[in-house]
Amino acid sequence: MTNINTSDEFPYEGRCAKALKELKECPQLDVSEANFGSITEPLDDADDIFESLAEWHELPLDSEVRKNFFRFNEIEAYWCSSHPDSEMIGEFSLTHLYGSVEEKHMDDIWEGNDDWERELYGELRIFDDTPRSGTGRMATLRATPGTTNPEIWFFDMRAGAMEMDLDYRTYLDTLLITKGAIGWQYLFCDEGYGHPGFTPLADGLKEMLDTFPRLFPDYDYSELQARLRERM
pLDDT at position 214, please? Answer: 97
pLDDT in tens, 142-188: 999 999 999 999 999 988 999 999 999 999 999 999 999 999 999 99
The full set of domain ranges for the chain reads 11-231
**Which residues, 6 or more positions from 75, have their beta carbon under 8 angstroms from its beta carbon?**
16, 20, 35, 36, 37, 92, 93, 94
pLDDT at position 6, please? Answer: 82
Query: Which segments in the chain show pLDDT lower than 50?
Result: 1-2
Global confidence as pTM: 0.96
pLDDT at position 166, please? Answer: 98
CATH of domain 11-231: 3.40.1580.10
Question: Rounded distance, CA 181 to CA 207, Å?
Answer: 10
pLDDT at position 192, please? Answer: 75
pLDDT at position 158, please? Answer: 86
pLDDT at position 26, please? Answer: 97
pLDDT at position 2, please? Answer: 42
Q: How many CB atoms lie within 10 A of CB 207?
A: 17
Question: Rounded distance, CA 5 to CA 72, Å?
Answer: 10
pLDDT at position 112, please? Answer: 85
pLDDT at position 1, please? Answer: 41
Q: Residue by residue, what is the 3-state secondary structure of 43-82?
A: CCCHHHHHHHHHHHHCCCCCHHHHCCCCCCCEEEEEEEEC
pLDDT at position 170, please? Answer: 98
Q: How many CB atoms lie within 10 A of CB 86?
A: 16
Q: Are 24 and 1 in contact (CB under 8 A)?
A: yes
Strand partners, 230: none
